[in-house]
Amino acid sequence: MPWAWTSWKNYWGNRRQVEIRIKYGKDNVGADRYFEDYIPGTVEQFGAVSVDEGDIVAFGNQFDPQPFHIDAKAAADSEFGSLIASGWHTASLTMGMLARHYFSSASSLGSPGVTELRWLQPVYPGSRLFVRVTVIEARRSRSKPDRGIVESFVQTLNQNHEVVLDLKAANFIRCRQVSAS
């Protein structure tokens, strides 16, 4: 059954029935982590990146030149009251943390995409962000036995533990053991 937002709420309602492991900090790049290591129900928390005003303006100027991303005075007069990071900037920071801490250079084979990307809270200069990822589903590819598809629910949180972004991602991950077809 495909995952949906309602099933995510139900999943958390039953979380005591699932073993949850939380990992903090250490980079996974280069680690020998394969499809078999992404266990449904596993929760990992990692990262921490600081969001700098200069980076907000630079990203905004290049990729999302709306006044509340690039002009401090205009942003002060906006509903946000200050500069805020572009949602795409926040998504890029999230991807960086995922690449450094969640995916393995030994097995990551890319992604067919993300769904349900939502920006839930503004990200202000000085914010400190981290990521929490829950493995929702892991299934072997029927057409390519050397890989599996891992579906994850990704949340980016600020220093106050408020969710500022969430999304569902699918990733192709190389298998440690190739299954017989």
Angle at the Cα of 49 (from 51 to 127), degrees rounded to 5?
A: 40
pLDDT the model gives residue 5: 31
In a domain, residue 4? The reply is no
In a domain, residue 12? The reply is no
Q: How many domains does the chain have?
A: 1
DSSP 108: B
Enclosing domain of residue 87: 19-174
Contact of 164 with 158, CB cutoff 8 Å: yes
Average pLDDT, integer, range 37-59: 97
In a domain, residue 5? The reply is no
Range from 17-31, 63-77, 161-175 carrying the lowest mean pLDDT: 17-31
- Predicted confidence band at 3 (pLDDT cuts at 50, 70, 90)? very low
Question: What CATH number is given to the structural domain containing 145?
Answer: 3.10.129.10
C-alpha of 110 from chain center: 14
Average pLDDT, integer, range 32-52: 95
pLDDT the model gives residue 22: 41
In a domain, residue 7? The reply is no
Give CA–CA dist 166/116, Å, rounded: 8
pTM of the model: 0.84
Across the strands, what pairs with 132? 45, 155
pLDDT the model gives residue 43: 97
Q: Higher-confidence residue: 177 or 121? A: 121
pLDDT the model gives residue 166: 98
In a domain, residue 127? The reply is yes
In a domain, residue 94? The reply is yes
- Predicted confidence band at 2 (pLDDT cuts at 50, 70, 90)? very low
Average pLDDT, integer, range 97-103: 95
- Predicted confidence band at 178 (pLDDT cuts at 50, 70, 90)? confident
> Taking 80 as the threshold, does the pLDDT of residue 160 lie above it?
yes
pLDDT more than 90, % of the chain: 79
In a domain, residue 2? The reply is no
In a domain, residue 97? The reply is yes
pLDDT the model gives residue 177: 84
